[in-house]
A and B are shown apart, each in its own frame.
Chain A
Amino acid sequence: AQSVTQLGSHVSVSEGALVLLRCNYSSSVPPYLFWYVQYPNQGLQLLLKYTTGATLVKGINGFEAEFKKSETSFHLTKPSAHMSDAAEYFCAVSDRGGTASKLTFGTGTRLQVTL
């Protein structure tokens, strides 16, 4: 069974600063990894996902994440935060070849962006 740990339920950064949201996973097989974002009063939206190939994945809105097998991590970064990035971010993991019931979400990290 897989699991996800998101370190820090709340992260606050200044506008223009680096955004780093941490995600560590546990999986008995090579995983698929996802980052979703949830803006207030909205559903989740996929930011990026890693399935195969290049371990540095680029997503929407300038976000990217790097799959590091040795560290079992999939941290989300953005070089320069914007006010519109304020939202809740969810990391998720699944086993390869599984059905959607095998997708496990973390508890989320709320990102605050200040002036």
Chain B
Amino acid sequence: ETGVTQTPRHLVMGMTNKKSLKCEQHLGHNAMYWYKQSAKKPLELMFVYNFKEQTENNSVPSRFSPECPNSSHLFLHLHTLQPEDSALYLCASSPRDYTKETQYFGPGTRLLVL
């Protein structure tokens, strides 16, 4: 039990669909992250939120829209995705947005875009 949950665990969507990924952390952390994990590529940081404020957008296309209503919840809204967006999307949290601090990861959402 990592304390970070993600739903759904698997998602298949067409390019015209709109869907949302949800992440919840039960660790009392103040920083939350979205990562994209693709085969044969390093983990890519997408967004960082610290105390509900977005502190990093790593040149992510606008078809990915994050939302952080509070320090415990993080969403990733998806629309008009492309097949190359198929990947494992990981959520993580840490006490604060410092690299020294351990990040705790959820199990991920496996996304397939058709």
Q: Which residues of A contact B (CB under 8 A)?
A: 4, 9, 32, 36, 41-46, 49, 51, 90, 94-108
Q: A100-B31, A100-B48 are in contact. Are A45 and B105 (CB under 8 A)?
A: yes
Q: A43-B92, A100-B94 are in contact. Are A105 and B99 (CB under 8 A)?
A: no
Give every chain A residue within 8 A of B31 (Cβ-Cβ).
Answer: 100
Q: A100-B31, A100-B48, A100-B97 are in contact. Are A46 and B102 (CB under 8 A)?
A: yes
User: What's the Cα separation between A100 and B104 when bound, in Å?
Assistant: 12
Contact of A107 among B41, B48, B106 (CB under 8 A): B41
Q: A100-B97, A107-B41 are in contact. Are A49 and B102 (CB under 8 A)?
A: yes
Give every chain A residue within 8 A of B94 (Cβ-Cβ).
Answer: 100
Contact of B99 among A42, A99, A107 (CB under 8 A): A99
Docked complex: B59-99 residues within 8 A CB-CB of A: 90-92, 94, 97-99
Query: Does B113 sit within 8 A of A, measured CB to CB?
Result: no
Name the residue in A45, A96, A99, A102 with the highest tally of chain B Cβ atoms < 10 Å from its Cβ. A99
Q: Distance (Å) between the CB of B82 and the closest chain A CB? A: 22
Please state if B90 and A44 are interface contacts (CB–CB under 8 Å): yes
User: What's the Cα separation between A45 and B97 when bound, in Å?
Assistant: 17
Please state if B107 and A106 are interface contacts (CB–CB under 8 Å): no
Please state if A101 and B45 are interface contacts (CB–CB under 8 Å): yes
User: What's the Cα separation between A90 and B103 when bound, in Å?
Assistant: 13
Could you pull out 7 A-B pairs where Cβ atoms are within 8 angstroms?
A41-B107, A43-B4, A44-B43, A94-B99, A100-B33, A107-B42, A108-B42
Contact of B56 among A41, A44, A101 (CB under 8 A): A101
Q: Distance (Å) between the CB of A7 and the closest chain B CB? A: 15
User: Closest chain A residue to B90 by CB distance?
Assistant: A43
